[in-house]
Amino acid sequence: MDFSVQKRRLETRLSALSAGVLAGQGLSALSDSAGEQAISFGKGTQIRAILTALDRLKSGEYGYCRICGADIALDQLREHPETPFCESCSA
């Protein structure tokens, strides 16, 4: 199956998140604000999920649920290209 659309979406999102971190937004974890720390942590979590999805694309494991091995619905991958789980297992 061709996942080129999902790959572009992942790379675009990764680029946007990385640009925010490099611009200093990711350094907010050093501040005293718990809200800013949560935002920074969230960006790091998103970046890791995207990098992992890109690794699955390279290895040919993308599009398959990491729990049950079933195909992940294309609609779900279009909406959340970083998801490692099918709809049943993510519920």
Q: The CATH number of the domain where 42 resides is what?
A: 1.20.120.910
Contact 41, 29 (CB under 8 A): yes
- The type of residue at 38 is A
What is residue 86's three-state secondary structure?
coil
- What total number of domains does the chain contain? 1
What's the whole-model pTM score? 0.76
Domain that holds residue 46: 4-90
Tens digit of pLDDT for each residue in 33-62?
545 545 555 788 899 999 999 999 999 999
Segment 20-29 shows an average pLDDT of 54
The total of other beta-carbon atoms located within 10 Å of residue 88's CB is: 10
Q: CA 88, CA 80: separation in Å to the nearest integer?
A: 15
Q: Average pLDDT of the chain? A: 83
The alpha carbon torsion through 32, 36, 37, 40 (nearest 10 deg) reads: -140
- Count of residues in the chain: 91
